[in-house]
Structure 1
């Protein structure tokens, strides 16, 4: 739409309808704008101010444009990679489309929806779950079934979602996610480990733990600290079987505000995850991290990513680089030659669309995980790992879209 036509629409259609909605239908909690790219900052501000002048308590969504809304909005079905500063939400569908589509029967499972809710809460992001009513105003039965199931999970585990803050840890755990309140952590266990759950990096003294499933099952905790590597480890004794088929929650009472290892840390099973959003960007001035936590603008060899990490003890590690295949299109990813250096050791390899596909957050389609071989880290403690590009595939329109690096100890 041309700017002139949009300005006419804004004055003659949009603003009058906003005024009607806010003056003739009682208290309104939120207006969710989804404005076009042609809107100017001045026009976005005018819309926000109009809403607040008519109903000061009414929220204006971040999609009003130019970051002038009352909170931020991620992209459609976009999942946050790490905790975000400020107030945010992500809008997501229950099937593959927005609104009502009679042909779309590809409904997401309850397990998927609960885990997405938990993932968003662990990043401090509100989860906006979209439903598409029919022309008669009826919400389809599959949507109702899923909403009720998520609601049932929240009846049991709601205290681990409502009123919580984002995880204090700088990374996700393979077993699940973490939310917190003052003096308490909530461990959302997505992959039940059997009788023992190991949590690395928590420095606080643990006062007690219980399962939220019944509120009575006490979880026995053991804490250890290796002074040489400054490695804190918490062991929780759990039932052999997972209490909840989707996500089971352990409420962990701690002394004081959460204090955790601030750097990526080798996990008890021997892996270290280095997400892109924790990297220091260097070299090319074009490098940036998008809201999904993926590197953008890496389209020349003049760029690098660096992480600090903590290793429990020296050893040999398999190196895998995760890259993003935007919207599932291999042409966005391309094939790049990269090198990884840590502790004076280097390994090189090809990062590209022919490698193994893993799950990915939202609109970035699939992540691709490429193996660069093995690298040796001789000593425990702090190290710096650097990723550089030897050759960038110029035909890949997304450039070198790095999502992270995973190190896995070889036994």
Structure 2
């Protein structure tokens, strides 16, 4: 058994895993040692495994049948096959017979109707996001679409397009069946790349460089939730019965149908939401969770550590990056450089003595980085040089 495959498992995933079921059925010393090693390797899984055990024990009933170990083993294999078939047909109620413990223990029946309907409540998307390792993939040369632990699609276009439609996922020139994906998918757009994604409900998002997006392959009937570490501009398809919620580490943004921009990079001190149309409700760790902030069009919510603000802005300026433009007004040079680093995927070192210089203007991000830095050096008393390794250094002009 391979420990690594369990890294991103939810409680429901464990209930569909043959080795987990075998452990619960036989509880052998070998199995106990193995699952102890799983928890030791991935401590965050301990609570998930305990939840899977509770679900397993709470949803069984006893029959009077007895089975041999070989029959039990065969039954487990049959169960896994039936689960896969039933899941493909989206059955509303699945009742399958599985084996019981050894020769003297009775056979169990699990109601997968309960399990699959419970799936979206086993581990919410924010909890799942916090179990993931640090995102070193942001320095990759390619965009990554992670469908499951063993299924990652590499996209090497500068601007990639992903669409979830029917039973298929289109990712640039790739066509993948949805059944090949796990409960949550990840789109990792590294520095120097951009992506656009159309979710299963028709909602479309543009994903900026250096961003990670986590979302279900198919939204549930009750809600639509995604998790963002980075920046996206999103146009939400209206659905009055299912609110759309964007979660970040700092805040939750709830909408029904609207257009807005979210910038919530983990490394940035300031996180913000800018609304173009419709309305959004923001719940943040910064203020009382019971007090929701409601934005109207052309307003920006800014979240800075222990304080927040709401101000009127020209919202259209904040989504120009999706068109390859960057407009700024009285922006500190350090912030401008950070955005250019992410967009081009190139390291730019800026002297701290000039990082606070403010500048206004518009840059065409389709231009060469040298041209943009030249334009900045005309507006500010700075000079730049390109180093042998391809990085840049910016100093004050002497």
TM-score of Structure 1 vs Structure 2, range by shorter chain: under 0.3
The structure whose Rg is larger is 2
TM-score when scaled to structure 1?
Answer: 0.26
Q: Which has the higher helix share?
A: 2
TM-score when scaled to structure 2?
Answer: 0.27
